[in-house]
A = this chain, B = another copy of it.
Amino acid sequence: MVLFSDLNEHDFGQIHTPIDDLAYALDAVLFYEGEQALGVFTLRKGLVKLVRSTADGRERIVRVLRPGDVIGIEALATSHYDTEAVALTDISACRIPLSVLHHLSAHSPRLHLRLMQKWQHALKDADDWLAELNFGSARQRVAGLALKMRDAEQPQNTTLFSRQDMGAMLDLKLETVSREISALVRDGLLEPLDKSGRRYRIPNEKKLLSL
């Protein structure tokens, strides 16, 4: 699994609590902002958005987690979730009780190291979203998101989201997102792969990057 992949037999012997393997449907809420935390999740399949509601009531998506990422890692320190987590697709995830992680991170140097790497990755990811996707013109932002969301196996393809969600990620209105995507298609930088406006092919990655 994500966190336990390099544990040895002795480490596993210290896990006394069963670890749930859970499935959530599209739009299911894993937890709410500020909620008391029971455990931490590791994402096995699908995508999850982390959402904050701003002072004036609008929704802001701070980043999107992929398979292998830890959901709600902040609960390790405070036993509370700092953001809301919502399934962007049907997903499968493991829930690991906080007690298991607290015990193991103190007694297994391997898990300890792994957790530290997850913290670092989460922080870098947060900074990446701020520095790369929330800076510059609408065109640049949409292009950046398309590049970031390339499929792991087929890097020439990419999967986008509802225009509303993309707006909340990039700080743009949904009409602007739609217009910019249309413009990128018109300019030959994206090619639609379906009729729903979610999957696109990237014919020329460098050209997209150069914006």
Residues of chain B within 8 A of A112, CB atoms compared: 105-106, 112
Partner of A109, one of B73, B106, B123, B126: B106
Within 8 A of B (CB), among A46-90: 50, 52, 54-56, 58, 60, 62, 73-74, 76-78, 82-83
- Flag if B126 contacts A74 (CB, 8 Å): no
Q: Could you tell me how many residues of chain A have their Cβ less than 8 Å away from some Cβ of chain B? A: 39
A113 to chain B, nearest CB (A): 8
Chain B: CB-nearest residue to A50: B127
Q: Does A135 lie within 8 Å of B74, measured CB to CB?
A: no
Which stretch (A4-12, A13-21, A114-122) binds chain B?
Answer: A114-122
| Closest Cβ–Cβ distance, residue A178 to chain B (whole Å) | 20
Chain B residues, CB < 8 A from A56: 136, 140
